[in-house]
Amino acid sequence: MAKIDEINPGQEFPPQSNPVGKYQPIYYAGSSGDFNPIHIDPEFGKMAGLGGNILQGLCTMAFCAKAMTDLAGDPGRLKMLRVRFAKPVYPLDKVEVKGQVASKDGGRIEVELGAWTKNGETQVISNAAAIIE
Q: Which residues are catalytic?
A: 34, 39, 54, 57
Q: Within a 10 A sphere around the Cβ of 34, how many other Cβ atoms?
A: 16
What string of DSSP letters covers 6-68?
Answer: G--TTPEEEEEEEEPPTTHHHHHHHHH----HHHH-HHHHHHTTSSS----HHHHHHHHHHHH
